[in-house]
Amino acid sequence: QVQLVESGGGLVQAGGSLRLSCAASGSIFSINTMGWYRQTPGKQRNLVAAFASGGSTNYADSVKGRFAISRDNGKNLVYLQMNSLKPEDTAVYYCNVVGRLRDRREFVSWGQGTQVTVSS
């Protein structure tokens, strides 16, 4: 199966920056989509940024111009560079990857979540 390990979360003051990393491992044949979601208590998990099929990027309106998603396909890594952080960015961030295993079965994998806290 596919395992995702996240890192890079932490506590930062408003206006600061953090870079989240997600490493995927396992019997991956291909990746269709990969991205980042976030969730706060009592709310659903929402898309922050993602690579769609074909390589195009999608961003939540609230993070456009501040966050940037990038990837290293050869190493199965995806990053989220977060700049000009605001208190409302505080959440648990989850990495997500969708693709196919080497046996051609589709997989959907989630990271363990990493806490990002932005103080005012």
Q: Which two tokens stand for residue 54?
A: 């074909």
Average pLDDT over residues 69-90: 94
- Per-residue pLDDT tens digits for 33-44: 999 999 999 899
Quick one: pLDDT band at residue 114, thresholds 50, 70, 90? very high
Determine the pLDDT at residue 33: 94
Which pairs with CB-CB distance under 8 Å and at least 24 residues apart come from 66-72? 69/35, 69/36, 71/34
Query: So what's the pLDDT on residue 74?
Result: 82
Q: Is the pLDDT of residue 15 over 90?
A: yes
- Whether residue 97 is predicted with pLDDT greater than 90 in this model: the reply is yes
Q: How confident is the model at residue 75 (pLDDT cuts 50, 70, 90)?
A: confident
Beta strand segments in 14-90, E: 18-25, 28-39, 46-51, 57-59, 67-72, 77-82
The answer to whether 36 and 49 have CB atoms below 8 angstroms apart is yes
**Amino acid at residue number 48:** V
**Mean predicted confidence (pLDDT) in 84-88:** 97
